[in-house]
Amino acid sequence: MKILALDPSTNQTPAALHHFLVQCQQAAVRGRRAQLVSISLEVDALDPLAVLASIYDAGERHFYVERPAENLAIAGAEAVLEFTGSGATRFEDCQTFIDEVLANVIVVGDQGVPFAGPHFFTAFTFFDETEAGEPFAPVSVFVPRWQVATRGDRTVAVANLLIDGESDVAAASEKIWRAHRRFGGFVAGEGLFSPAGEAPRLTLSEIGGGEHYQTAVRQALDRINAGEFDKIVLARAKDLTAKAPMHPMQALDGLRGRFRECYAFSVANGAGQSFIGASPERLVRVHGGMLTTEALAGSARRGKTKEEDERLGEELLQSEKDRHEHQLVLDSIMRRLKPLGLQLDVAPGPQLRRLDNVQHLHTPVRTALPVGVRVLDVLARLHPTPAVGGVPRGAALAGIRSLETFPRGLYAGAIGWIDSRGNGDFFVGLRSALIDGAHARLYAGAGIVAASQPESELAETELKFMAMQRALFSS
């Protein structure tokens, strides 16, 4: 990777940009391969979701994530480079693609600005193989043509383009310049999320029928008692059909406002389908050589009053069933990360993580990341965690395939980004839905252990469905 300590804002003219891109084209010709050029520029405050909505195209890939509680948001659209893969080596293959791209990139602009430089927006499905016709490959990663991100009070816009000897540099220069001028005059969010009219929902139906989930839970409990596994996470799916196409950006606008502690996200495949949600669970974050992950398992509803809420939270903290489920997740995280030589800093006991309509047992885990260990190395060991899979992993995954009646796809998958410096942030694709025009498939799951009750697990999943149902019914 070649970094030019050049601030494009010091010479903002179309001629200067064209001259620079001509130099990049000459470098590509000399190197006999296409040259990725990434140009970053700090701009006035923007709303990345509003920007993405303004250029939204169902036929293009996009990625969006926002965590309002951290004042963080990032959006990318249109793939200038992309990679898909499958199988047991998908994490390694993804890292190889990233390394090859970074070995041949010119990065321009102040790299000290948050989210400067090229980013790799990445999604791993729950299973490492998918069925024919599924909307997302087991791993898909792309570098966006356009990217806008905010952290705190700083906003950066990034343009990525691929240049070779045949590229029309003049047209590329003009396109970047127009986009820069457009961002400079952009009025964040104005009118973008106003409903165009009510779109009544026609159907909301359970996949497999209303009794299937409780039957599957009972079968799982029999298999737990037989010693096949200690825990298994079983999911439900509902299909929703509307009279008019649903816009993922509009649903996201509601999710980010309501679930400020969560990752509000959207991943589009460029074929008209978007996977969206508001996930409460961070899978792994690497920043400045520090790694953060967490155990999040054990759930209860929120109370209608402060007194009821505190009582329900205390009952969750004291619940033997939920603490056992939570400990299985934490033990697995520690066991799977141990071979990487990490010295884990773990809280002495779980605390409550309170969200809008549900509360969870939560234990954060932190460690310094040794030289040579990268975020995808950690991700490959953690995914899928017992919070969304089970214990032991192999037996639980086989059980999921036999007991669930639908493909999971990106549900409970690993979704996030990696930058050119090795930082990255991945979360679990929970509280989610796959939107395809006027149709949506909603997902929710619960962890099953020996003390589980089918009726209680059904109620827990219904509670988790509510976030996405409300977002789509109001969009």
pLDDT in tens, the chain (475 residues): 665 544 444 445 667 777 778 888 887 788 788 889 998 888 888 899 989 998 899 999 999 999 998 999 999 999 999 999 999 999 999 999 999 999 989 888 888 888 999 999 999 999 999 999 999 999 999 999 999 999 988 999 999 998 888 888 888 777 777 776 666 555 444 445 555 555 556 688 999 877 899 999 999 999 999 999 999 999 999 999 988 888 889 889 989 988 888 999 999 999 999 999 999 999 999 999 999 999 999 999 999 999 999 999 999 999 999 999 999 999 999 999 999 989 899 988 999 999 888 999 999 999 999 989 999 999 999 999 999 999 999 999 999 999 999 999 999 999 999 999 999 999 999 999 999 999 999 999 999 999 999 999 999 999 999 888 888 876 5
Assessment of whether the complete model's pTM goes beyond 0.85: yes
- From 184, 211, 227, the end of a domain falls on 184
Task: Say if residue 260 is in the same domain as residue 381.
Answer: yes
Instruction: Report the distance separating Cα 435 and Cα 372, nearest Å.
Output: 39
Catalytic residue among 134, 231, 404, 464: 231
Task: Please state the three-class secondary structure of 39-67 as a single string.
Answer: EEEEECCCCHHHHHHHCCCCCCEEEEEEE
Q: Is 446 helix (H, G, I), strand (E, B) or coil?
A: strand
Instruction: Report the distance separating Cα 370 and Cα 372, nearest Å.
Output: 6
Res 408: pLDDT: 98
281 in catalytic set = yes
Identify whether 192 is part of a domain. Answer: no
Task: Say if residue 260 is in the same domain as residue 361.
Answer: yes
Identify whether 385 is part of a domain. Answer: yes
Instruction: Report the distance separating Cα 239 and Cα 205, nearest Å.
Output: 5
- Whether cis (ω within 30° of 0) applies to the bond prior to 384 is yes
Write out the H or E segment, with its range, that includes residue 352: strand 351-354
Res 43: pLDDT: 85
- From 141, 159, 184, the end of a domain falls on 184
Task: Say if residue 245 is in the same domain as residue 166.
Answer: no
Q: Look at residues 445, 403, 408, 400 and name the one whose alpha carbon lies nearest to residue 135.
A: 408
Identify whether 29 is part of a domain. Answer: yes
Res 238: pLDDT: 96
Task: Say if residue 158 is in the same domain as residue 239.
Answer: no
131 in catalytic set = no
Res 192: pLDDT: 54
Identify whether 235 is part of a domain. Answer: yes
Identify whether 190 is part of a domain. Answer: no
Task: Say if residue 172 is in the same domain as residue 207.
Answer: no
Identify whether 196 is part of a domain. Answer: no
Instruction: Report the distance separating Cα 451 and Cα 460, nearest Å.
Output: 15
Task: Say if residue 34 is in the same domain as residue 157.
Answer: yes
Range 92-107 burial, b when 16+ CB lie within 10 A, else e:
ebbbebbeebbeebbb
Burial of 84 (0-12, 13-18, 19+ CB in 10 A): middle
- From 184, 210, 240, the end of a domain falls on 184
Identify whether 361 is part of a domain. Answer: yes
Domain of 98 in residue numbering reads as 2-184
Res 29: pLDDT: 81
Res 186: pLDDT: 54
Task: Say if residue 9 is in the same domain as residue 103.
Answer: yes
Task: Say if residue 164 is in the same domain as residue 220.
Answer: no
Task: Say if residue 92 is in the same domain as residue 227.
Answer: no
CB count, 10 Å around CB of 29?
14
Task: Name residues whose C-beta falls within 8 Å of residue 351's C-beta, 6 or more positions apart in sequence.
Answer: 361, 362, 363
Task: Say if residue 215 is in the same domain as residue 76.
Answer: no
Identify whether 381 is part of a domain. Answer: yes
Instruction: Report the distance separating Cα 327 and Cα 325, nearest Å.
Output: 6
The total domain count for the chain is 2
Res 171: pLDDT: 82
Task: Say if residue 162 is in the same domain as residue 301.
Answer: no
Task: Say if residue 379 is in the same domain as residue 297.
Answer: yes
Q: Look at residues 433, 435, 430 and name the one whose alpha carbon lies nearest to residue 447.
A: 430
Catalytic residue among 66, 78, 134, 281: 281
